[in-house]
Amino acid sequence: MTPNLTTDYEFLVSLWFQWLDQPQWQPLDRWLKSQKKMSRDPLQAGIAMHAAMRFLHLACALESAYKNPQETLDIQAWDQSWSLADIKKVPAQALWYWVALRAAEGQQATVAAPKKLRDAHQRHQFFLQWRARSEADHNNAHYWLWQGVRPSLKPLLDERARQSHWSTESYQTFLDKQTVQPPLWLRLQHGVKANSVVAGLRHSGIHASETDDGISVQGGKNIVTSQAYREGDIEIQDLASQQIAAAIAVKPGQKVWDACAGAGGKTLAIAARMDNKGVVVATDLQAFKLEEIKRRAKRAEFFNIRTFPWDGEAPLRLPAEVARQAGFDWVLVDAPCSSSGTWRRNPDARWHFNPQSMDSLLQLQQQLLHQASASVRPAGALVYATCSWCVVENEEQVEKFLAAHPTFALESMTLTGAPEKDADTMFVAVLRRV
C-alpha cells in the first residue's frame, strides 16, 4: 500500500517535526499510537512514517549528493560518518519528496512534488540517475541505499548468505523484501477452520487471505476488533515466530519452559498443541508481560500455563512436578537480540543497530543459555531462538555453547521466515541433552 504523500505533504511535514521534537526517539509504532492529533486517516499517516523510516538513509544520501553536485559522494565514507542526528539537516519537504519517489517505485503512480519545492524537476531527474546507477550494479553502495540497507552492513549480510547457502536469487529476494512491510500473520487455534475465519474477517472489513502458510492480513480494520480475535479463535503471530514454536515438537503431558516469554506468543503456540495436559512455564524479567500472558491464556482457555518472574541470573527453581522428572522436556530461550530480523516491520530500528556495540548482548545470550540449560532433563531439548539474522548472534552462539557444554548435541538449526517466506527473519536451533 502506497503512502498518500502526493496530497498530504503539509500534514506529513507537521508530523515529521513532531517526531523530530521528541526528547528521546521511541519506537515508531509506540509513538504513532501516542499521537492524539492524527489526520482523518491515521492508517495512511502510519504507512507514510514507516516509509520515511525505511528510506531515511537513502533520502539523506540523495540530499547530500544533490546539494553537492561538484563533488562525487563517497558513499562508504559518508555512511560510516552518518548518524540519526543528520536527518535534521534535510529540509522536511525535500525528505518527503525523496521518500515519496522511492516508495512509488514499481507502482503505477505519478508522484506530485510539494508546492514549496521549486527545484522538484531537477530533483526528480537526479533521483532517476541514482536509480539507474543502483540498477546497473547490485554490489555498489548506491544499490544498498536504494534497498534501505546501510552499505556498512554488507559484510554481515554476506556472512549470513554464506552461512545459509543463499543463492544469488535468495540474497536478492532478501534485500527486496527490506523495502516492504510483511503482512500480519495469524495463527489459528486448534480445530478452527481457516476458511470460516477468513470469511468472517473479510465481512468485518479486514483484508485477510488464506495461503499455503496460513492466514495473512494486509490492511483493513484493526484485527483486535474482530469477533474471531475476541473469542480467542486466532492469535497474532508472525510466520517466522510460528516456525520457531513448531520446532518444539511437544506432546500432551510434557513439561515445557519458555524462559524469555515476552508477551507469550510462542507460549500460547506451544500450549495449543498440548490439549491442556502437562505444563508450560512462562517466565520473563518484566512482570507486566506476564500479566499479558495470563490475559491471553485465559482468552484462549489454556489452563496449563504458569507464569513466574525470572531474571536469568541463576537457574530456575523447578516446580515440584518438573523436579520429579529431573527437568523440563523442552526449554525455549528466545533470547534478547539485535532484532535485525524484524526491520521490515520496524524499519526505524535499523538505524539504531551498531554491530560494534553488541558485546553485552552476546554475553547476555550466553548467560541465558547457560542458566536455562541446567533445567533440561536428560534426553530433553534446549531450543535457542532469536529474531536476528546476524551469524554472531546465532550460529556462533550455538557453537560457543556446545563447546562449553559437552552434554548437549546439535540436532538442527535454521533461519526461518524471509527470504523464503514473506515474514520476519528469525533463527532457531534445537540442542539435545545426551
Q: For the domain that residue 216 is a member of, what is the CATH number?
A: 3.30.70.1170
Where do we find the cell 527437568? 327
Same domain, yes or no: 231 and 254: no
Q: Do residue 337 and residue 196 come from a single domain? A: no
In a domain, 156, yes or no: no
- Pair 304, 419 in one domain: yes
**166: in domain:** no
Residue 154 counted as domain residue? no
Residue 247's pLDDT band (cuts 50, 70, 90): very high
Binding residues, as ranges, are: 284, 311, 334
* Rounded alpha-carbon distances, angstroms, from residue 328 to 166, 210, 256, 378, 415: 35, 35, 6, 9, 25
- Average pLDDT value for residue range 423-432: 99
- Mean confidence (pLDDT) of the chain: 93
Same domain assignment for residues 248 and 393: yes
Q: Are residues 26 and 141 in the same domain?
A: yes
Q: 150-180 in b/e burial notation, b at 16+ Cβ within 10 A?
A: bbebeebbebbbeebebeeeebeebbebbbb
**What does the pLDDT average to over 216-231?**
91
Residues 317, 365, single domain; the answer is yes
52-70, pLDDT tens digit by residue?
Answer: 999 999 999 999 999 998 7
The pLDDT of residue 363: 98
Sign of CA dihedral 288, 21, 32, 110: negative
Percent of the chain exceeding pLDDT 90 equals 79
Give per-residue pLDDT as tens, 286-301.
Answer: 889 999 999 999 999 9
Residues 30 and 49 reside in one and the same domain:
yes
Exactly one of 60, 260, 337, 387 is catalytic; name it. 387
Which of 173, 208, 236 is where one domain is finished? 236
Give the total number of structural domains in the chain: 3
**Edge to edge, what strands does the sheet with 425-433 contain?**
305-309, 279-284, 255-258, 328-334, 376-386, 425-433, 408-417
Cell readout for 143 is: 544499490
On whether residue 367 sits in a domain, the answer given is yes
> Tens digits of per-residue pLDDT, 328-362?
999 999 999 999 999 999 999 999 999 988 999 99
Q: Please tell me whether residues 298 and 389 are part of one structural domain.
A: yes
253 found inside a domain: yes
* Block residue for cell numbers 502437562: 278
What's the CATH number where 283 sits? 3.40.50.150
pLDDT for the residue numbered 3: 41
Q: Give the residue from 215, 236, 257 where a domain finishes.
A: 236
Say yes or no: 266 and 207 in one domain.
no
Residues 205 and 277 in one domain: no
**pLDDT for 2 beyond 60:** no
Q: What percent of the chain has pLDDT over 70?
A: 97
pLDDT in tens, 99-147: 999 998 877 677 888 888 999 999 999 999 999 999 999 989 999 999 9
40 and 112 assigned to the same domain: yes
- Domain of 60, in residue numbers: 9-148
Distance in angstroms (rounded) separating the CA atoms of residues 187 and 75: 43
Q: Round to whole Å and give the CA distance between 283 and 260.
A: 6
Mean pLDDT of 227-249: 95
Residue 118 lies inside a defined structural domain of this protein = yes
Q: Is 163 inside any structural domain?
A: no
167 within domain boundaries: no
As a dihedral over the C-alpha atoms of residue 202, residue 207, residue 212, residue 215, rounded to 10 degrees, the angle is -80
Binding residues for S-adenosyl-L-methionine: 284, 311, 334
Range with lowest mean pLDDT among 11-15, 215-219, 237-241, 351-355: 11-15
If asked whether residues 225 and 278 sit together in one domain, one would say no
What pLDDT is recorded for position 39? 58
Active site annotation includes 387: yes
pTM comes to 0.93
